[in-house]
Structure 1
Amino acid sequence: MIVYAEYVFLENFIMNYLILSLTSKFGKAIPQKIKLVIASSVGALYAFIIFFPSLHFLFSFVMKFACSMLIIVIAFTPYRFKDFFRLLGIFYFITMVFGGAGFALFYFTNFNGVISNGIFYITNISIKNIIISCGIGYILINFCWGYIQKQLSKDKIFMKVKIKMNGEAVELVGMVDTGNSLIDPISNHPVMIVEFDAILNLLPLDTHKIFMTSKFPNFNDIATSINNTAWVTRLRVIPYEALGTENGMLVGFKPDGVVIEHESEIKNINDIIIAIYSKKLSKTGNYRALLHPDLI
């Protein structure tokens, strides 16, 4: 059987790019397109080892795992081990779903192919079969992911939060958000995002108007309004990225302390930064703060 190298590369590149794109979507990561292209190309080139028998030792479990790790690093460049392994797990989950969908489809259809050291090459695959298998894989992933998220949502962790500042305190309900990985770049303290309205009484009066009149308050205006006060040393700027926002900035401050209560457990935290969010975090109003996972 003749195996064409260009087809091996193209098929693997397309599937790698699709899997990495879905990993980005479900992992809440926003990589650059060029990084996805490079990572997909690396994965596609790895399949070329099938043409070099002397290099088949690279098909070992350790080398396959190392290649997948390299692909994740190239595509997403995660800076924390927790984010890295989360993306790697999602990458494997999506890969297995797509692989299962592809095998199931081709099992019930006529095809010729070869399997060598984990590389599955199909010779008479059609565009129609590729589209159908990708469609089935995508539907399965959405269904499985939606089911998992639904089950997890039943156990969403809501906690009572008390924020202390200059002898004042506000109490509110916060939700632990596994997608919140914000860290203060100066102190490396975890960041808790809180609605402006919920902590209004803790903030200097001169800053109220700034937050009320702008969805994205200007840091310089806030810094000027609290000049020559003790608040200057507490002020923070927290960079963030979100869908449609690559270089966002949240204004925050260092509180005197935060008390988090869940069931019978009470936790006092001093090493924390409060980021001020000018809009609503929950449409239903069930919670008014997003807690960093490291806080629990």
Structure 2
Amino acid sequence: MIGELLVLYNTLFNYFLLKFTKEITGLYVKKRRLVFSAFVSGLVSSVLYQSFAGAVLSFVLLIGLAFSFRVQTLLKQGTVLLIATFFIGGLLTSLLPFLLRQSDLIFFIFCLSIAVLSLTFIHSKWRNMVKEKLQQSFLVDCELELFQQTFSLKGFIDTGNECVEPISGKPVHFLSYRAVEEKLPEELKKGLLTWDDNNPYQLTMFPSFMYPRIRVLTLSTVQKETSNALAFRFDRLVLYGNIKKEILDEYVVFTRHDARFPQNAQMILHILALN
């Protein structure tokens, strides 16, 4: 009975380690293959638990059966698995004096819970780090010319922003009102503050020379809610990245919700800014 429980414990720990390794390295593997690999490795390590050769064989089988026996796999997935194993092993060792006071069942539940929670925490931190790195690659410095004013801004190219002005089909970008407020013409600021989105086509609060540059848009949120917004046609937008890009006569919508902009950007750019 003790042998069967040892195999079960090793299999469960191996499975969660393999699942963690799969997620970190982005390699697709079927669940049943992970289970089979975890079981075989758990069986070998349970039988040869006092042998260094048995530990090595168990590790190679765990990686090879789950991902493949190629050298590249043993190095890439094997490295991640080895680090995770040492981390969990060290954590459990530090808590061993407390865990040994418990019954066998409680001991196993505690150990398994600690392993799962630790790996989940590491995976979450790793995903956030990857997301942060990916977002930074979409950051650009930009220079916006609007109503004879020039604004130097930090822009973020949002692959989810596909908003266009319906008449011309030109892209619409989103600009933080707070980032440009000081340099905006007073008549534009007053117009934005008094404009009523419930009566969107009433534009008398803006100077007449601005009328040709204003468009009323209906925006939809992810929650399928709709709202009206004013878009203003700018003169020029220059993006400074790996390649300098100039954009002419597209639209910006002023927004007060810049706290939601990724990477502390001041302007959310249309996806076509990538082209």
State the TM-score, normalizing by the size of structure 1.
Answer: 0.46
State the TM-score, normalizing by the size of structure 2.
Answer: 0.49
